Amino acid sequence: MLYVLKSQLDRLRHAEHTFMIIVAMIIGVIGGYGAIVFRYLISLFKKIFFGDFQLSLAYLEGLPWYVKLFVPAIGGLIVGPIIYFFAREAKGHGVPEVMESMILKGGVIRPRVVLAKIIASAISIGTGGSVGREGPIVQIGSASGSALGQLIKVRSSQLRTMVACGAAAGIAGTFNAPIAGAIFSLEILLGDFAIPQFSPIVISSVVSTVISRHYLGDYPAFIIPKYELTSIYEFVPYLILGVLSAIIAIVFTKVVYKSEDLFEKLPVPEWLTPAIGGLIVGATGIFFPQIFGVGYETMDLALAGKLTWSFLLVLVFLKLFATSITIGSGGSGGIFAPSLFLGAALGGVVGTLGHAWFPEVIGSPGAYTLVGMGAVAAATMHAPITSILILFELTNDYRIILPLMVSIILSVVIKMNLMGDSIYTLKLKRRGLDLKKEVTANLLSTTIVADVLKDNFIAVQRNTPFKRLYELTMETHHLNYFVIDEHTHLLGILSPYKIREIARLHDPDEVHMQAKDLIVKEGIFFTPEDTLDKIVPLFHDFILDQVPIVNNAEERILIGQVTKTDLLDAYNKLVTKRDMAGAISTSITSAEKYKEIPLSDGELMCEVEVPGNFVGRSLMELDLRNKHKIEVILIKQNYDPKDKEAGKIVTPEPHYKFQYGDRILVLGHQEDVIRFKTLS
């Protein structure tokens, strides 16, 4: 029976489109029920810790002060150990972790993240943590899709799509927003709207929404008052709102990570910091319970125009503070709902003041509240399309779409120009992964100084008189001299240009300075073990064309130098070596329709993505030459900027173990190669 099921699965896998559609439906079901379970868990923890499933503002205001103070701290005390000891990926808002797994690990997410994230986030939100539901549900859905993909042994490209399907299903099921769920995955996680990925993601999103609506009903998350554009001049305050939204998004992003840095410096165990953060949030919530949890009720009040502009302005700063403390201290939850809250409060301020000052021109303050929600969220995430669509779906009202688009696009453009990273990509950048730059591995980081070290430097003793130094500039063409002591310890770098400038103004015989007095750069040196990429920034300084190399950082005995020319020569050799190694593979994959290269005697060469069941197994173990009669020519490793051995083309090693995302260039008789391709 198991053999029959396996055979059917293998046959289905080869019909890739059908296979991915079926898998997407399964992930949609998992994501839909995951969203329902998550929401019910949040309500359950509200009941356990606060005594009420809904936890309305009226109920919160009637609670004793000590309940509001200590419940968030108790929540942090539970969440901290869960994250620290069980799944570190569950810390924070979740989306960057999903992005990192897709970039570095081919979509692999540990299955335990599902359990850790759903419990930790439900407790964080249920005990008053100032975070949202979208980050956790994205990570929960993504981890579910990844677990399923790893279970059925799909290849890396399929696994990434399944991760995105899980994220889309989670967003769609949580917010009753199938279009926005799909666009979120395509715009933020994949950055690609290709049809092969688009179809399964949309299907997952739709299936999840159907399940969510069956259990939770088909209702918009927010009800907005009747809206109509009063005057063409009303676009002016919407433009102002777009500018202010960008500023708030920048401040929000910076404060979140500044808070994270501050909590990391605290002399307490890491698993304890969420409790400290909870105590701070609880103290704030004693006087302003509106900052607890997701904050939808407060947003509804702002949309209805029932809050004063001064109170909304206070809430902007308090919510920003509370969310930064919750996430920075190590709590688990998303930033989308807090960014909606910030936008609602900001838009309410602009709309209320504008309507009071210019009632004939500016319409309902509630419309500005909604537009502010979209503008701040879009600028924070760098996701204008997702924000426009999700606000449209959350309200089921198309009338607001024009001012919404104007404010959102303006806020995103300003934010991206002033701060290139979103709140998601900045977290990755802080970990050393720059999505804008890490497209190819840094070649110079793979070569050490010892490989290009030269000993044709000029060293001068520290007491060398100026006249001799000036004569030296006439005798040699070196661009830098290195000053040493009697034991050849490096003291600094001397510039012949500076010597000539002094000689131009003064008679060299009358200048009584020595080499040690003319040092222009101190403390600059490298060792033979340093990589060449560390030297590059120094050559931006016009004074430096040669850098000294010492034996080690402690003794600093001068042993050689590296020049700009040496660096360029090394780089050119590395490029040539890389291009020679990858020339054949590049020619195969440079155009979509040329996947194979036929050779003489009926042989065929082609690039193949390793099958899922090859992952974790070595070339020796797989024995492809005997079992499949094909030869592995080279391996394109899965890209990982933290691993110097990843992200490049390497020659096959018997003990090399395949990872998700690896591709191999294979050679063999045409029939054998085609047969092998059906395995992937």
Give yes or no for residue 244 having a pLDDT over 80: yes
- Give 307-331 pLDDT, tens digit per residue: 999 999 999 999 999 999 999 998 8
Q: For residue 273, what pLDDT is reported?
A: 93
- Give 91-149 pLDDT, tens digit per residue: 877 788 788 777 666 677 877 888 888 899 999 999 998 988 887 888 888 888 888 88
- Give 617-669 pLDDT, tens digit per residue: 887 788 777 778 787 777 877 644 445 444 566 666 667 788 877 888 787 78
Q: How far is CA 403 from the centre of its chain?
A: 30
Q: For residue 641, what pLDDT is reported?
A: 43
Q: Which residues contact 203 (CB under 8 A, 6 or more apart)?
A: 21, 24, 25, 28, 165
Q: For residue 676, what pLDDT is reported?
A: 81
What DSSP state is assigned to residue 188? I
Judged by average pLDDT, the poorest of 101-115, 238-252, 287-301 is 101-115
Dist. CA 550–CA 528, nearest whole Å: 7
Q: For residue 593, what pLDDT is reported?
A: 38
Q: For residue 195, what pLDDT is reported?
A: 53
Give yes or no for residue 441 having a pLDDT over 50: no
Q: Which residues contact 279 (CB under 8 A, 6 or more apart)?
A: 69, 70, 72, 73, 76
Higher-scoring residue by pLDDT: 71, 185: 71
Dist. CA 200–CA 21, nearest whole Å: 5
CATH code assigned to 595-677: 3.30.70.1450
For the chain, the structural domain boundaries read 16-216, 232-430, 445-568, 595-677
Per-residue pLDDT, averaged over 560-573, amounts to 79
Whether 16-216 shares its CATH topology with 232-430 is answered yes
- Phi, psi of 549, rounded to the nearest 5 degrees: -120, 130
Dist. CA 295–CA 307, nearest whole Å: 14
Q: Which CATH architecture has domain 16-216?
A: Orthogonal Bundle (1.10)
Structure-block tokens of residue 398: 């198309």
Q: What is the mean pLDDT of the chain?
A: 81
Residue with tokens 């007491």: 463
- Give 149-181 pLDDT, tens digit per residue: 888 877 766 788 888 898 888 888 877 778 888
Dist. CA 650–CA 578, nearest whole Å: 9
CATH 1.10.10.10 assigned to 232-430: no
Judged by average pLDDT, the poorest of 229-233, 469-473, 531-535, 572-576 is 572-576
Q: Return the CATH fold of 445-568.
A: CBS-domain (3.10.580)
Higher-scoring residue by pLDDT: 36, 583: 36
Q: For residue 576, what pLDDT is reported?
A: 54
Dist. CA 613–CA 502, nearest whole Å: 71
- Give 490-520 pLDDT, tens digit per residue: 888 888 888 888 888 888 788 888 888 888 7
Q: In what order do the strands lie in the sheet with 649-650?
A: 596-598, 603-609, 663-669, 631-636, 649-650
Q: For residue 628, what pLDDT is reported?
A: 80
The structure's pTM equals: 0.67
